[in-house]
């Protein structure tokens, strides 16, 4: 054996000269992509095609990656099914990652390896870029793999360019194409609707293609979000099993194909949806696809989610390592019906409650067409003079006098046909020129692929900040999906869906350049748009308009697999029949807020809420930045149980919620905690009780080992349907 090894920190390029003993081809280049626990191995074949030959545990000796055997049983298929970026129109007959129509109308593509570079960004992050080129056409694709070593996370995307004589049409342009070998594949994915977000389904993948996708344009995730898990060999548990998490960082149409191929391996192709989106690409222009982020864990769903959460806090979510503001929102207490007096009273309530900020929701704008309901005014971002004659400055001033901050709702991507904006700029609206308009929530989407519209949308938010320097928070809503998708601006309608999202990101880039840190909530009539493409600009998201707390336990639980708790805006509202304690305890497992009429609370309820905010403050470090451990799943237990441990393993909080209303449902056995230090002593006590109520849970001190091996029964049951246990290191 004769190796030439060039080492670039953790990424290693191995040129294998001869390796007959391992059955590898002579002269193949092997490219391992390593994180702390895992490795992907790519190999360049004799024909210069790049294939993915391994995805699994990392080897101690990286020269051994060269010995990874061919992935398919029949030689003739090697290098075809397992292509690292499957082309079309040539040898491949399976689902492609890329499909193009060249300037001359030819539809064939054959990508061959040219070279690759590794850029070490810091001790944790490396970027591997592999250049592939067609041998006949001046057409090139760069595959990028950005690894986050300690988090075991990889982001993958491609950049497509050409120098052909005329435009090229991209018919398909995936971000990533993975090839995974296992005995069986178990897909956990989600479906939903308004107020029914994140309903999980798990199924075994059989031969053929299962596609997760969206064609909704804006509010793209309302039926299905771009997140999923694939367990390998058997369904993974919370703490055991091999599982891959995937998540496309894109706020528009997506498409994720999972294909068990004829050789029983899994081909995974993820990217923007190419539905009605043949993209016309000019020569010399780089077409960059969104990032597909994934993590693999051999310790089950819990570790995979902690990988992703810690990556997100560190690298993706805006201010992911910073604090969050508790707030009082007025949406459900007033809807569109408010004025200065009402809001002044609510600002006083904000102070009495003890939260950081008051958030004024929809209804504050529109004069010719006042926003007194959802049928008019959207697009006319002038303060409504009848409701708020003193404007926003009066509200920011009153907030200041009450010692709280002030935030405001906007939905700047949208327009009601009943608005001055629509009258003035019908050409800014997404709609078919010669067909009847079709509305969702009485509104239409503005054409953000048009730079003039981008300027307008930027201007709406910028003006609010310029006129109200004290403005401390934005809730950015997006309630309509795109019917009649047609852009009056675009020459090539196939570019529209992509350029819409790019237009949105360009507005958000400009806003973030000017206002880098102001917290913003990503809302879309509930969780209609939750993804890491957007969370780069937002500090948090609104999981659902459904705030009935039992429903909410399930919704928040499922989001928690993919997003850190500090991004999940959980508001206490009057939905449902549960007491204020249950509602607040449930909201505390993420970013706490309220949307209730504080003045209607009984004195003991107000005292409870004020106390809960103090508990929240004590444990916010663990909830926002600590490790999250799921202890009992609401889908299979009477009591859902989840805990958060701060990074020093000193302070932790355990949330227990009774989710089954049947006779004698409850926590009958001890629940084992997780994530503590075995030899450390912890005082364990119930917190967040209604004033005057005693706990049936005895305060005592135990070792971490005891709490994690034997566990404790929180005694959650009817009459004690939410129980919060503080775990304080001694
Ligand atoms: C939908 C959001 O999900 C709600 O929270 C609220 O902001 C309304 N829009 C306002 O119209």
pLDDT averaged over consecutive 10-residue blocks of the chain (730 residues)?
32 37 55 98 93 96 90 61 95 94 98 97 98 98 98 98 98 98 97 98 97 97 98 98 98 98 94 98 98 98 98 98 98 97 97 98 98 98 98 98 98 98 98 96 98 98 98 98 98 98 98 98 97 98 98 98 98 97 98 97 98 98 98 98 98 98 96 98 98 96 98 97 98
Residue identified by tokens 């670039």 is: 8
C-alpha torsion angle, residues 496, 501, 503, 506 (rounded to 10): -160
Sequence-separated (6 or more) residues with CB below 8 Å from residue 645 = 622, 626, 627, 629, 651, 652, 674, 675, 676, 727
Distance of CA 193 to the CA centre of its chain: 17
The separation between the first and the last C-alpha atoms of the chain, rounded to the nearest angstrom, is: 57
27: left (phi over 0), alpha (psi -120 to 50) or beta: left
Task: Supply the pLDDT for residue 11.
Answer: 39
- What CA–CA distance (Å, rounded) separates 590 from 527? 15
| Atom nearest to 523 CA in ligand 1 | 3
Q: Which residue has the tokens 């949208």?
A: 414
| Strand-strand pairing, 540-541 and 569-572 | unpaired
Q: Tell me what pLDDT residue 175 has.
A: 99
Q: DSSP per residue over 74-87, as a string?
A: SGGGTTTTTBSS--
The answer to whether 19 touches 5, Cβ cutoff 8 Å, is: no
For residues 687 and 308, give the distance between their C-alpha atoms in angstroms, rounded to a whole number: 29
Q: Find out whether the beta carbon of 477 lies less than 6 Å from any atom of ligand 1.
A: yes
* 526 Cβ below 6 A of ligand 1: yes
Q: How far is the C-alpha of 623 from the C-alpha of 629, rounded, in Å?
A: 11
Residue 160 contacts residue 274 (beta carbons within 8 Å): no
Concatenating the DSSP letter of every residue in 653-713 gives EEEEEE---STT-B--S-B---S--TT-EEEEEEESPPTTPPPSSPPEEEEHHHHHHT-B-
* SS3 of residue 133 by DSSP: strand
Substitution candidate for ligand 1 out of 333, 336, 525 with most atoms within 8 A of CB: 525
Can you say how many angstroms the Cα of residue 635 is from the centroid of all Cα atoms in its chain?
22
User: CA angle at residue 197 from 519 to 177, to 5 degrees?
Assistant: 85
Radius of gyration of the chain (CA): 27
Residue 91: per-residue pLDDT: 86
CA of 20: how far to CAs of 17, 68, 182, 402, 610, in Å? 10, 12, 25, 77, 72
For residue 69, the model assigns a pLDDT of: 84
Would strands 227-232 and 185-191 be described as parallel, antiparallel, or unpaired? antiparallel
For residue 524, give the ligand 1 atom closest to its CA. Answer: 3
Q: Whose CA is nearest to atom 3 of ligand 1?
A: 525
Going by alpha carbons, the residue nearest to atom 1 of ligand 1 is 525
- Three-state SS string over 86-98 comes to CCCCCCCCCCCCE
Ligand 1 pocket mutation, candidates 336, 545, 575, criterion most atoms within 8 A of CB = 545
Check residue 28 and give its pLDDT.
73
Does the C-beta of 362 come closer than 6 Å to ligand 1? yes
* DSSP string for 438-494: --BTTBEEB-TTSHHHHHHHHHHHHHHHHH-TTEEEEEE------SS---SS-SSGG
CA 15 to ligand 1 centroid distance, Å: 57
Query: Which atom of ligand 1 lies at the shortest distance from residue 374's CA?
Result: 11
Is the C-beta atom of 542 inside 6 A of ligand 1? yes
Nearest atom in ligand 1 to 545's CA = 3
Q: State which H helix or E strand residue 519 sits in.
A: none
> Are the CB atoms for 424 and 476 separated by under 8 Å?
no
Cα 496 to averaged position of ligand 1 atoms, centre (Å): 26
Q: Rounded distance, CA 176 to CA 554, Å?
A: 30
Report the distance separating Cα 708 and Cα 425, nearest Å. Answer: 62
CA 621 remoteness from chain centre: 21
The secondary element (H helix, E strand) that includes residue 353 is: helix 340-353
Q: What is the CA(598)–ligand 1 centre distance, in A?
A: 20
Tell whether ligand 1 has an atom less than 6 A from the beta carbon of residue 257: no
Does residue 409's CB lie within 6 angstroms of at least one atom of ligand 1?
Answer: yes
Residue nearest to atom 2 of ligand 1 (CA): 525
Given the structure tokens 């080129």, which residue do they identify? Answer: 133
pTM of the predicted model as reported, rounded to 2 decimal places: 0.95
């Amino acid at each position: 054996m004769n190796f030439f090894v060039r080492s670039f920190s953790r990424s290693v390029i191995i040129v294998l000269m001869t390796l007959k003993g391992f059955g590898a081809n002579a002269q193949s280049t092997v490219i391992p992509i390593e994180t702390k626990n895992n490795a992907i191995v790519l190999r360049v074949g004799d024909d210069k095609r790049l294939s993915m030959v391994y995805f699994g545990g990392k080897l101690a000796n990286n020269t051994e990656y060269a010995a990874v055997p061919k992935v398919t049983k029949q030689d003739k298929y090697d290098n075809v099914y397992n292509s690292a970026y499957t082309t079309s129109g040539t040898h491949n007959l399976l689902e492609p990652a890329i499909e193009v129509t060249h300037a001359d109308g030819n539809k064939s593509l054959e990508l061959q390896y040219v070279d690759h570079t590794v850029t070490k960004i810091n001790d944790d992050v490396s970027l591997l870029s592999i250049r592939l080129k067609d041998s006949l056409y001046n057409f090139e694709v760069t595959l990028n793999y950005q690894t986050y070593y300690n988090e075991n996370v990889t982001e993958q995307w491609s950049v497509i360019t050409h120098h052909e004589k005329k435009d090229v049409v991209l018919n398909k342009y995936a971000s990533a194409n993975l090839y995974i070998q296992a005995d069986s594949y178990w897909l956990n994915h989600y479906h939903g609707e308004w107020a029914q977000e994140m309903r999980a389904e798990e199924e075994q993948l059989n031969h053929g293609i299962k596609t997760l996708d969206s064609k909704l344009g804006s509010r793209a995730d309302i039926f299905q979000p771009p997140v999923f898990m694939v367990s390998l060999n058997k369904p993974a548990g919370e703490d055991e099993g091999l599982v891959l998490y995937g998540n496309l960082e894109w706020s528009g149409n997506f498409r994720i194909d999972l294909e068990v191929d004829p050789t029983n391996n899994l081909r995974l192709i993820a990217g923007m949806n190419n539905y009605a989106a043949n993209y016309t690409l000019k020569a010399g222009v780089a077409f960059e696809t969104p990032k597909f982020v994934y993590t693999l864990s051999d310790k089950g769903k819990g570790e995979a989610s902690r990988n992703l959460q810690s990556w997100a806090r560190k690298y993706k979510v805006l201010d992911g390592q910073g604090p969050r503001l508790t707030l009082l929102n007025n949406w459900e207490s007033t809807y569109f019906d408010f004025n200065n007096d009402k809001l002044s009273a609510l600002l006083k309530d904000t102070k009495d409650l003890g939260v950081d900020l008051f958030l004024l929701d929809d209804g504050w704008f529109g004069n010719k067409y006042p926003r007194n309901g959802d049928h008019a005014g959207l697009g006319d971002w002038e303060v409504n003079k009848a409701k708020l004659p003193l404007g926003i400055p009066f509200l920011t001033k009153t907030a200041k006098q009450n010692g709280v901050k002030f935030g405001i709702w906007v939905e700047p991507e949208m327009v009601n046909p009943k608005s001055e904006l629509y009258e003035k700029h019908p050409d800014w609206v997404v709609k078919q020129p010669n067909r009847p308009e079709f509305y969702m929530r009485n509104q239409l989407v503005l054409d953000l692929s048009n730079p003039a519209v981008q300027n307008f949308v930027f201007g709406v938010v910028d003006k609010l900040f310029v006129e109200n320097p004290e403005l401390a928070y934005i809730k950015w809503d997006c309630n309509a999906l795109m019917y009649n998708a047609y852009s009056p601006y675009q020459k090539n309608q196939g570019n529209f869906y992509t350029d819409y999202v790019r237009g949105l990101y360009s507005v958000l880039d400009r806003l973030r350049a000017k206002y880098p840190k102001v917290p913003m909530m990503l809302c879309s009539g509930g969780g209609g748009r939750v993804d890491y493409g957007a969370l780069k600009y937002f500090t948090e998201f609104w999981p659902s308009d459904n705030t009935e707390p039992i429903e909410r336990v399930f919704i928040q639980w499922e989001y928690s697999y993919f997003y850190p708790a500090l991004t999940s805006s959980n508001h206490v509202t009057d939905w449902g029949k549960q007491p204020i304690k249950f509602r607040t305890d449930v909201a505390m497992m993420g970013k706490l807020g309220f949307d209730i009429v504080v003045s209607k609370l009984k004195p003991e309820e107000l005292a409870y809420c004020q106390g809960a905010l103090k508990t929240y403050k004590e444990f916010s470090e663990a909830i926002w930045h600590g490790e999250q451990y799921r202890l009992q799943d609401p889908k299979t237990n009477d009591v859902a149980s989840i805990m958060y441990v701060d990074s020093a393993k000193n302070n932790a909080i355990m949330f227990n919620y009774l989710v089954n209303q049947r006779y004698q449902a409850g926590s009958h056995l001890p629940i084992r905690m997780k994530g503590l230090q075995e030899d450390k002593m912890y005082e364990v006590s119930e917190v967040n009780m209604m004033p005057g109520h005693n706990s049936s849970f005895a305060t005592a001190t135990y070792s971490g080992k005891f709490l994690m091996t034997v566990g404790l029964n929180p005694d959650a049951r009817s009459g004690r349907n939410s129980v919060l246990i503080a775990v304080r290191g001694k």
